[in-house]
Chains A and B, each alone.
Chain A
Amino acid sequence: MTRGRLVLGAAGIAFILFGTFRLLTEIPVPALEGLATWLVIAVAVHDGVLAPVTALGGYGLNRLLPPRARRYVSGALVVGVGISVITVPLVLRQGTQPAAKALLQQHYAVHLGWLWAGIGLAAALLYAARVIRDARRS
């Protein structure tokens, strides 16, 4: 067990050192400075903006919705987070490429709207089923 952890840890450190060595020896300094900036900003944006906003949103849901409804609204938000995050750059880049590339030619914001509508409908149906089930039990 301990030996296995040591091997894992040593392999991890070896990969980190190898990647760092290749970066430092093969990538020009201005590019590395840009990369370091991106790494810092990525953590700052996630930890300083996205995560607190999500936590505040969760707090707001707790205050606004009763537990049973909150369960389905929270679930729907978790389902929709992935498609929403990847749609942002798709919308920003939409229509920027020549038509022959068949790249970024869709109406992504509209499609995201349809998908959210589907998620909302599914959550509403599940919620309604739950309400009916609870009513029958009581």
Chain B
Amino acid sequence: MPASRLRLPVDPPRGWPRFDERLRALAVTARLGRVLGIAIGVCFVTGLLSHYQYQPWSWLPEPAHPSWGYRFTQGVHVTTGIASIPLLLVKLWSVYPRLFAWPPARSLVHALERLSVGLLVAVALVEFTTGFLNVLAWYPWPWPFVAVHRFLGYLLVGSVLLHVAVKLPAIREALARPVGAGEPVAVTGLSRRGLLAATGAGVALVVTTTVGQSVGRLEPLALLAPRRRDRAPQHVPVNKTAAQARVRRVGPDWALVVDGPRPFTLPLAELEVLAGAQARLPIACVEGWSVDAHWRGVRLMDVVHRAGGDADSTVHLRSLQPHGAYARSTISGSQLAAALLATHLNGERLDLDHGYPVRLIAPDRAGVLNTKWLARVEIR
């Protein structure tokens, strides 16, 4: 539908915003968009892998190898998400003049396309903002974070795919030419290449100052990392403290209840005598931080065999924690074969905040699924 049939004036009204579009060129936008699109794709896939940790299909349990699998994918997810924040802001800056394109819509299809871009911008801003605030344990919104974060992820990826489909000819044309093509020779101020370099440096700075919460060797540079293991008990951060979980330190008469074909109880003193198995395993949180740690305890499979189970058993673990989604967990397959009921962490008796008297630790497993303050093990 031509603009005249919409009865819009040919020229924009007086005072309509105008911008210097020398820097805000398609050559810049396409290059920023390419990197941001890849980042969103990486975030989406690693996010789905994280959701699978929490809701695996029974016929395809999470593997135990590599033990650092979840540490890697979730570290990538959170780091890429944080790095996308400056990328998104500069990308939106580069296309801001298009918000004031005249006429606002040339046809119904064009209007729908602009609406889809509006959806993309809104979802991207909310998804990255709330994702970062979740890392800070800050939830100033009325919706359940995990489910909405996931569903907005579908909307975000869908909007990006649709946007790329619409813009593909322009994107290809822009990427085929040098970034400075058509740029005025007498450049005043920042050049397009300079803008891209500065954006890259900004993203690198964000990554360098935050990724130390996932990569231990970079922790000295982690000036803006939400978590730091060097400030944590036994050098491992805590996702939920005993006080938050309403768990009190148990006395010497405590015993682990093991239910199965041959049920038994494992008193605290016996558990500590049996705790001879050792493993070096990372603990990796959904919020992105992760730490390699040395664990000692009882092999869960030894407990399973004693209770009459075997390698094909499914084991349900229950915590002393009275409430909460992670007061229980299920483990099977290769993770079960490699799991420990840990009593010691980094050479010391487990701190109460880390799950005293005993907790689960298994390879390639999201942190909160390594149930703390165990009360009961059920073998099915």
Q: Judging by beta carbons under 8 Å apart, are A100 and B353 in contact?
A: yes
Q: Which residues of B contact A9 (CB under 8 A)?
A: 161-162, 165-166
Q: Which residues of B contact A80 (CB under 8 A)?
A: 202, 205
B148 in complex: contacting residue of A13, A16, A35, CB < 8 Å: A35
Instruction: Please judge, given known A-B contacts A82-B85, A102-B232, A105-B231, whether A16 and B154 are in contact too, CB under 8 Å.
Output: yes
Q: At the interface, yes or no: A131 with Cβ under 8 Å from chain B?
A: no
Q: At the interface, yes or no: A103 with Cβ under 8 Å from chain B?
A: yes
Q: At the interface, yes or no: A22 with Cβ under 8 Å from chain B?
A: yes
Q: How far is the CA of A74 from the CA of B121 in the complex (A)?
A: 24
B138 in complex: contacting residue of A13, A35, A71, A89, CB < 8 Å: A89
Q: At the interface, yes or no: A49 with Cβ under 8 Å from chain B?
A: no
B224 in complex: contacting residue of A14, A19, A67, A90, CB < 8 Å: A90
Q: Judging by beta carbons under 8 Å apart, are A102 and B143 in contact?
A: no
Q: Judging by beta carbons under 8 Å apart, are A81 and B122 in contact?
A: no
Q: How far is the CA of A98 from the CA of B237 in the complex (A)?
A: 11
Q: Judging by beta carbons under 8 Å apart, are B99 and A106 in contact?
A: no
Q: Judging by beta carbons under 8 Å apart, are B160 and A102 in contact?
A: no
A-contacting 9-mer, from B3-11, B190-198, B372-380: B190-198
Shortest CB–CB separation between residue B128 and chain A, in angstroms?
10
Q: Judging by beta carbons under 8 Å apart, are B205 and A79 in contact?
A: yes
**Number of A positions contacting B (CB below 8 A):** 74
Q: Judging by beta carbons under 8 Å apart, are B161 and A83 in contact?
A: no
Q: Judging by beta carbons under 8 Å apart, are B159 and A87 in contact?
A: no
Q: Which residues of A contact B191 (CB under 8 A)?
A: 71
Question: Which residues of B does A touch, CB under 8 Å?
Answer: 19, 82-83, 85-86, 89-90, 92-93, 96, 99, 116, 118-119, 121-123, 125-126, 129-130, 132-133, 136-138, 141-144, 147-148, 150-155, 157-166, 168, 187-191, 194-195, 197-199, 201-203, 205-206, 209-210, 223-233, 237-239, 241, 243-244, 351, 353
Shortest CB–CB separation between residue A107 and chain B, in angstroms?
9
Q: Judging by beta carbons under 8 Å apart, are A20 and B155 in contact?
A: yes
Q: How far is the CA of A98 from the CA of B241 in the complex (A)?
A: 8
A71 in complex: contacting residue of B92, B121, B126, B194, CB < 8 Å: B194
Q: Judging by beta carbons under 8 Å apart, are A15 and B142 in contact?
A: no
Q: At the interface, yes or no: A55 with Cβ under 8 Å from chain B?
A: yes
Question: Considering the complex of A and B, which 7 residue pairs feature the smallest CB-CB distances, nearest first?
Answer: A15-B158, A82-B86, A19-B154, A12-B162, A12-B161, A9-B165, A102-B232
Q: How far is the CA of A55 from the CA of B307 in the complex (A)?
A: 69
Instruction: Please judge, given known A-B contacts A74-B189, A102-B228, whether A27 and B143 are in contact too, CB under 8 Å.
Output: yes
Closest to A65 in B: B189
B122 in complex: contacting residue of A43, A78, A100, CB < 8 Å: A43
Q: Which residues of B contact A100 (CB under 8 A)?
A: 232-233, 238, 241, 351, 353
Q: Judging by beta carbons under 8 Å apart, are A102 and B223 in contact?
A: no
Q: Judging by beta carbons under 8 Å apart, are B151 and A19 in contact?
A: yes
Q: At the interface, yes or no: A135 with Cβ under 8 Å from chain B?
A: no
Q: How far is the CA of A115 from the CA of B221 in the complex (A)?
A: 11
Q: How far is the CA of A42 from the CA of B168 in the complex (A)?
A: 27
Closest to B223 in A: A111
Q: At the interface, yes or no: A133 with Cβ under 8 Å from chain B?
A: no
Q: Which residues of B contact A17 (CB under 8 A)?
A: 158
Q: Judging by beta carbons under 8 Å apart, are A81 and B241 in contact?
A: no
Q: Which residues of A contact B227 (CB under 8 A)?
A: 101-103
Q: Judging by beta carbons under 8 Å apart, are B159 and A16 in contact?
A: yes
Other than A16-B162, A22-B154, A89-B136, give 20 A-B pairs with Cβ distance below 8 A: A11-B158, A12-B163, A23-B151, A27-B147, A30-B142, A39-B122, A46-B92, A50-B89, A51-B96, A55-B96, A71-B191, A75-B198, A78-B195, A82-B89, A96-B137, A97-B137, A102-B227, A102-B230, A114-B223, A119-B205
Q: At the interface, yes or no: A132 with Cβ under 8 Å from chain B?
A: no
Q: How far is the CA of A17 from the CA of B239 in the complex (A)?
A: 34
Q: Judging by beta carbons under 8 Å apart, are A67 and B232 in contact?
A: no
Q: Judging by beta carbons under 8 Å apart, are A82 and B206 in contact?
A: yes
Q: How far is the CA of A99 from the CA of B233 in the complex (A)?
A: 9
Instruction: Please judge, given known A-B contacts A78-B198, A81-B202, A90-B136, whether A102 and B162 are in contact too, CB under 8 Å.
Output: no
Q: Judging by beta carbons under 8 Å apart, are A43 and B121 in contact?
A: yes
Pull 26 A–B residue pairs with CB atoms less than 8 Å apart, ordered by A. A5-B166, A6-B165, A8-B165, A12-B157, A12-B163, A16-B155, A19-B153, A30-B142, A35-B143, A35-B148, A39-B122, A39-B126, A42-B125, A42-B129, A43-B125, A51-B99, A55-B19, A70-B188, A83-B206, A83-B224, A85-B85, A90-B224, A100-B233, A102-B237, A104-B137, A108-B223
